[in-house]
A and B are shown apart, each in its own frame.
Chain A
């Protein structure tokens, strides 16, 4: 009899945590390592736009965003430790390093805090990871070129910031796809640091030494417009430059499309991925079974949806998507 009561109570407790948990008293914090470019600014703005109403509607009690000043892992680890002390129920983190924060993340998990990492993910197993398929991005670029230019030709590669894992990942994707498409040859490679002015300078420096018949430029995002400017300044024909969803890149593409039927392809992830991470954290707090590894959907701009995507993109910003609870549930369902 006694046993039955205990079992019954246990069953009740289980069902209440899995299905009926209420997150209205839960507090979620965003730990962000860097805010010094437009992508990160859009990411923070999206966080505010989505979490503000969520807090007002009482879905969660708080969703505070914190950014470290120096983009240092040690600083972010201290920030996470503060969040543990402040008693947050979940921490959503865009990490400065995939490994250096693991100690602090483990402490948070041990304190019973849900940790969801996104974009800059962490390797600590207790945390959830919303990762970007950067290799897939690189592969898609080459596959697009292979489709547009079946006879192949010479390519220029613009890489990101040397020594950052994202740069290696995208490059690995491009290399893998190049191996399958031997009609293409990369004749030059420069580092554009994901910045238009750096890319412009690097491309302008190597361009005079490159053959005239460059047919395509594979990029990593935030460097396409700078590359295009360098080609125009050198008086060269414009190759197919893959873009990275920045407004100036898409505007340039639109102009060229209207003038001369220019065709290219643009791919990146939406800065609003922070809101996806927010909803995933909310779902975990709600007791939903969420797999530890999730994948961020890529945002692609093609010849057909260019005008539509450009309209959605704020002047000077990046094509953005803000995710809803339903989107998060769909991503979770895909991964389960």
Chain B
């Protein structure tokens, strides 16, 4: 009984309950025949949201006003440049990965430079930098789709024992992030800054260094997600990141991370990512029109957030 109460007091449980419920309703449509197929699809597509969501989670945890709006542009630029460098050759995969991560590193540094040196609020700084990043992506390849190297395409589209490889990659990253947040000094510092930046500074937390590292981490994860997504879907497109702006913020909020900062939640990101994919699949399966679908998606998301936040107060 006590254990049960403990589980229900976790803010992430509601995202998983919602995802489970939506999954159940969706497979009921076919009397359970679609369970494996839908499960695999959900794991695959949730993975990309998870990777960008984890980065956004750290940024949001830094406290009010912290958000990275350059995630879509970073994904696009990293994927575009990496695929251009690789020219579909297997031998160049490592170089391509380095290019992608390098883009993330550069974007993160540039973002924090705008925030710190020019004292621009993060929301404006990352929004304006995203214009520059997106324009660079357009300029660098004019939107031409280059095929990913065959090995990368195989890696991202195949499964191991029925579990999609991209889900395994996302799981690995999640574990690293989880340890970073829960066990490392850096994770504690991020939470401390989010709870009270002045107090954290007085207590000797290197506030600037931690914030800098967080923006870099977020951009690097975005670039990795872009690299994997482009490999998975057969090439980079100029609008490939668009969906992930709202998604990255939504999975953080639905997953039980405090919007006001200070409290991050890693497992919730998975629940929320699965939920966001499944809710669209469910409404598609039952033939809801686009208008009804958006309306219901909004209502369900609000419902989950209310459920999750009520529990936290109680």
A residues engaging B (CB < 8 A)?
A: 35-38, 40-42, 45, 69, 159, 162-163, 188-191, 195-198, 200-202, 204-209, 225-226, 229, 233-234, 246-248, 314-317
Contacts and interface: CB of A to CB of B under 8 A. Distances in A.
B131 A209 contact: no
A316 B38 contact: no
Given A41-B143, A69-B131, A209-B29, A197 B237 contact: yes
A200 B166 CA distance: 15
B129 interface: no
B277 interface: yes
B223 interface: no
B290 A196 contact: no
Contacts of B234: 196, 225-226, 229, 248
B280 interface: yes
10 closest Cβ contacts across the A-B interface? Answer: A208-B37, A316-B144, A205-B281, A208-B34, A162-B290, A38-B143, A316-B145, A197-B233, A41-B143, A208-B38
Contacts of A40: 143
Interface string B43-62: 01100000000000000000
B265 interface: no
Given A201-B277, A316-B145, A209 B285 contact: yes
Nearest to A235: B37
A206 B29 CA distance: 11
A191 B294 CA distance: 11
Contacts of A316: 141, 143-146, 235
Contacts of A189: 284, 287, 289
Nearest to B76: A36
Given A35-B138, A36-B239, A189-B287, A196 B233 contact: yes
B111 interface: no
Contacts of B237: 37-38, 195-197
B41 A41 contact: no
A191 B290 contact: yes
Contacts of B311: none
Contacts of A209: 26-27, 29-30, 34, 38, 281, 285
B239 A162 contact: no
Contacts of B143: 37-38, 40-42, 316-317
Interface string B249-290: 000000000000000000000000000011011001101011
A314 B144 contact: yes
A201 B290 CA distance: 16
Given A38-B145, A315-B146, 17 more contacts: A37-B237, A37-B238, A38-B144, A162-B290, A188-B284, A188-B285, A189-B284, A191-B290, A196-B237, A201-B45, A205-B38, A205-B284, A205-B285, A208-B41, A233-B157, A234-B37, A315-B144
B144 A197 contact: no
Contact of B285 (A206, A225, A248): A206
Contact of B30 (A200, A204, A208, A317): A208
B235 A204 contact: no
Contacts of A206: 281, 284-285
A226 B29 CA distance: 24
Interface in B58-84: none
Contacts of B280: 202, 205
B301 interface: no
Contacts of B238: 36-38, 41
B173 to A, nearest CB: 20
A35 B184 CA distance: 44
A200 B233 contact: yes
Nearest to A198: B243
Contact of A197 (B26, B240, B284): B240
B300 to A, nearest CB: 15
B248 interface: no
Contacts of B18: none
Given A209-B34, A229-B234, A317 B285 contact: no
Q: Which of A38, A42, A195, A202 has its CB near the most chain B CB atoms (within 10 A)?
A: A38
Contacts of B162: none
A188 B233 contact: no
B26 A207 contact: no
A197 B138 CA distance: 18
A195 B143 CA distance: 12
A201 B229 CA distance: 11
Contacts of B290: 159, 162-163, 191
Given A189-B287, A314-B144, A205 B41 contact: yes
B45 A205 contact: yes
A247 B30 contact: no
A195 B240 contact: yes
A206 B27 CA distance: 10
A37 B239 contact: yes
B142 A205 contact: no
A299 B63 CA distance: 53
Contacts of B243: 198
Contact of A36 (B34, B42, B138, B235): B138
B174 interface: no
Nearest to B164: A233
A314 B141 CA distance: 13
7 contacts: A36-B138, A159-B290, A202-B284, A204-B41, A205-B38, A247-B145, A316-B144
Nearest to B284: A206
A212 B67 CA distance: 44
A207 B145 contact: no
B52 to A, nearest CB: 14
B239 to A, nearest CB: 5
A206 B290 CA distance: 14
Contacts of B131: 69
A204 B45 contact: yes
Given A197-B229, A197-B233, A201-B277, A207 B41 contact: yes
